[in-house]
A and B are shown apart, each in its own frame.
Chain A
Amino acid sequence: MNPPDPNSDDPKLSALLREAHPAPVLPPRFEEGVWQRLQCAERAAKTASPHGWLEQFVGSLLRPVYATAALVLVVFAGTWFGIRDGEGQAHRADRIRYIAAVSPFHRTAP
């Protein structure tokens, strides 16, 4: 049996079809609910995949705000630790200089 032609312009047939399939009354905010369910399903699919969480994490990490903050933190930490180390080395060098100045034993090797 052939399916009915949807482009039929028979008014009687159209009226019959409307009566046979009345349009249901949609609940309030139906469309919004559908989209929310779709988004939830997408998120669940991403999380379920082996790299889903990683993709999300990298995605958030590579946002300009976080990337800039991380870069500033790395630069600050590197400089701070470098200064500490440099000060320590300079301090040790100063100590050796003082000892060499006041101790004849550290100037003359037997």
Chain B
Amino acid sequence: MKLHPTSLVLAALLVGSAMFAVCYWTASRACIAFGTQRPDDLAWICHEFKLTDVEMARIRLLHEGYLPKCEAMCVRIDAKNRELAAVLDVATNISTEVERKLGESAALRAECQAQMLRHFQEVARTMPVEQGARYLAEMRHLTLGMQGSLEDVMTHPSHERP
């Protein structure tokens, strides 16, 4: 039986596409699996900013020193969120109690942001100047962007954003 040339081309394209898809999927999964085998919080920093072992050792020390403070802040924020939710659950209007809790929440947020920025500045100082500036810019955006994202949504509603 002689196949039509168009059928042969289509069959070749189909086989080629299937081979490509299998190789793509397998390689991609293998890479992700390999990446998740190293559960290190600092893997991203090391890779992104191409740091030396010495720089990484210093950053790891700073990171481990910062973690307990971060945990404590998490507990305080969680507690404050629960307090605020409890007050809001029973409030029918914005009472002075609600305003006070909102103020406390904002103050805690500011305290947390200041602590984060202090840590990021310390980490940035252990990096080469250029890398440190890039790291700090990204982390500053992360720290301050949490408010910015809300303001961005309010200024540009989702249906207006590209």
User: Which residues B132-153 have CB closer than 8 A to chain A?
Assistant: 139, 142-143, 146
The count of residues in chain B whose C-beta lies closer than 8 Å to any C-beta of chain A is: 52
C-alpha gap A18/B8 in the complex (Å)? 56
Which segment of A3-11, A19-27, A33-41, A79-87 sits at the interface?
A: A79-87
Say yes or no: A83-B27 contact (C-beta < 8 A), given A97-B41, A105-B112.
yes
Interface size classification for chain A: 35 or more
User: Which residues A78-110 have CB closer than 8 A to chain B?
Assistant: 78-83, 85-87, 89-91, 93-95, 97-99, 101-105, 107-110
Check B9 against A58 for contact (C-beta < 8 Å): yes
Check A103 against B116 for contact (C-beta < 8 Å): yes
Check A94 against B12 for contact (C-beta < 8 Å): no
C-alpha gap A89/B24 in the complex (Å)? 13
Say yes or no: A86-B41 contact (C-beta < 8 A), given A75-B19, A78-B20, A104-B77.
no
User: Which residues B56-111 have CB closer than 8 A to chain A?
Assistant: 63, 66-67, 70, 73-74, 77-78, 81, 84-85, 109
Which residue from chain B places its CB closest to the CB of A53 in the assembled complex? B5
Instruction: Give the shortest distance, in Å, between B71 (CB) and chain A (any CB).
Output: 8
Check A110 against B12 for contact (C-beta < 8 Å): no
CB contacts (< 8 Å) of B6 on chain A: these are: 51, 54
Check B41 against A105 for contact (C-beta < 8 Å): no
Residues of A that sit less than 8 Å from B by CB: 51, 54-55, 57-58, 61-62, 70-71, 74-75, 77-83, 85-87, 89-91, 93-95, 97-99, 101-105, 107-110
Given contacts A78-B27, A89-B35, 20 further A-B contacts (CB under 8 A): A57-B5, A58-B5, A61-B9, A74-B16, A78-B22, A82-B27, A86-B27, A86-B31, A87-B35, A89-B28, A90-B32, A95-B48, A101-B63, A102-B120, A103-B143, A104-B70, A104-B74, A104-B116, A105-B112, A107-B74
